[in-house]
Structure 1
Amino acid sequence: MTLVQDAQRDGARLAKACQVMGINVRTYYRWVSEGEVTADRRPDADRPEPANKLSPEEREAVLALCNAPEYRSRPPAFIVADQADKGRYLASESTMYRVLHEYDQQHHRGRQQAPQRKRPPTTHQATAPNRLWCWDISWLPGPARGTWWYLYLIMDVFSRKIVGHEVYETETGELAAELIQKACWREHLTDRHKPLILHSDNGSPMKAATFLEKLYDLGITPSYSRPRVSNDNAFAESAFKTLKYRPG
């Protein structure tokens, strides 16, 4: 600051003087806005070390304590509390977290399983009719209490056309195989060179061996929702809700 002010008194422009010193003009004005020079608050500024900063020996002691057999799978909150019960204090909880973070041990220490990066879910895009189908099975109330019928429904995602539907008394892979065969005949999909993807959830009829064998014979690629993610099959679920709550 003294060098910039001396340069101004000698006739230099403030912008040029700040440029030579490696600071911005707005930084200079902020430092002298209150009539006196304030502390440098830039993130990369050199600051004096705090008096209570841990020495290298103390940091190694913290790391050794966190990796001790009785603490290697424990969080710093437990370590600090257990050490306090024993009448010992080495560092605070936040300091232990900071030391572990510097040594890349904050998330994976001891016998804990290392974090795994999950792949993004596979997506399909319907660019034309009969390229992407979705299907599902829904329960319908039967003629008596406690009895149910099962609605098998196949929908073309591109046009929202119902390409196949049947109502059965049971829920099996054999009936699903018959339905997909009828839907392919109805849509004239006998050419195996046309790629067709059939998306569904993870129900037992969808993964039955008979049904999968039929898909292989028809040249259809199966696709499944992620576990416990119901909106991966949103088109079929939405059609079922419209059918049940808005009839006609």
Structure 2
Amino acid sequence: YLPSNVRGLYWYLYMIIDIYSRKIVGWEVHDRECGTLASQLIERAILSEGCLVKPRYLHADNGAPMKSLTLRAKLDEMGIRTSFNRPGVSNDNAYSESLFRTAKYRPNYPAHGFEGLSAAREWMLNFVNWYNNEHRHSAIKFVTPAQRHRNLDPQVLAKRHAIYQQAKAKHPERWAKETRDWTPVSAVTLNPGNPEDNQQGGQKRAA
């Protein structure tokens, strides 16, 4: 929910994040919650990512749009399996919640709400560009989501490792132990303790 500057009036953010790379692969802001709008966004995201015929998983909260018959029919048509938050388990969608928190704590986030739908869309456009292409994400070894999404993180992290090794060789007294670990993050899962989730852990999934 994106607040407007009118009490009780909100704009609705629809967003899809690939949890492997943390990249925002689809987003829109509308003036209502609707399964049709959600299904259209997912279809556009799948087509833009070029994974129409590949099996994918979509994890979501239990909101009405995500459980609508329209969306379920579209997901079945596209061969996408679904999972939902368990009731009362707040961290089942931790990746999305963390992303929303990052958005709301940006310095330019409007403290008194967005002036209108177009203002909310413009702000989100700038945020998504920053988040995907400039933001060094701490959970993926401080590469950008776009770099990891394009599988560039091993190359970026290898260069960092080399720089750290050169610095240690030049000034060994500055390091009591090994240099920072720049090994790329491997598989990503929603709930590592869940056996079913572990079976799917090596695949990119949207949340």
- Normalised TM-score (structure 1): 0.42
Among 72, 86, 91, the residue aligned to 1:231: 91
TM-aligned CA deviation for residue 150 of structure 1: 0.5
Letter in 2 for 1:150: Y
SS of structure 1 residue aligned to 2:88: coil
TM-aligned CA deviation for residue 247 of structure 1: 4.4
Q: Does 1:176 align with 2:30?
A: no
**Equivalent runs, 1:101-180 vs 2, <5 Å:** 139-180=1-42
Letter in 1 for 2:36: E
Q: Which has the higher contact order (CA 8 A, sep 6+)?
A: 2
The CA distance in 1 between the partners of 2:9 and 2:50, in whole Å, is 36
Q: Does 1:197 align with 2:57?
A: yes
Q: 1:209 to 1:182 in 2, by over 3 A?
A: same
Letter in 1 for 2:75: L
TM-aligned CA deviation for residue 151 of structure 1: 0.5
Q: Tell me, which stretches of 5 or more residues in structure 2 are unaligned? A: 109-207
The CA distance in 2 between the partners of 1:190 and 1:231, in whole Å, is 29
The CA distance in 2 between the partners of 1:224 and 1:198, in whole Å, is 8
TM-aligned CA deviation for residue 145 of structure 1: 2.6
1:124-175, Cα deviation, whole Å (9 max, x unpaired):
xxxxxxxxxxxxxxx0012423211001110001000000000000011111
The CA distance in 2 between the partners of 1:229 and 1:247, in whole Å, is 30
SS of structure 2 residue aligned to 1:171: coil
Q: RMSD between aligned alpha carbons?
A: 1.2
The CA distance in 2 between the partners of 1:202 and 1:170, in whole Å, is 16
Among 163, 186, 189, the residue aligned to 2:48: 186
The CA distance in 2 between the partners of 1:143 and 1:182, in whole Å, is 30
Q: Which residue of 1 aligns with 2:76?
A: 216
The CA distance in 2 between the partners of 1:234 and 1:210, in whole Å, is 26
SS of structure 1 residue aligned to 2:7: coil
SS of structure 2 residue aligned to 1:157: coil
The CA distance in 2 between the partners of 1:150 and 1:157, in whole Å, is 21
Aligned residues: 108
Please identify which structure carries the higher helix content. 2
TM-aligned CA deviation for residue 230 of structure 1: 1.7
The CA distance in 2 between the partners of 1:153 and 1:247, in whole Å, is 21
- Structure number, greater radius of gyration: 1
- Normalised TM-score (structure 2): 0.50
Letter in 2 for 1:183: A
Q: 1:247 to 1:216 in 2, by over 3 A?
A: farther
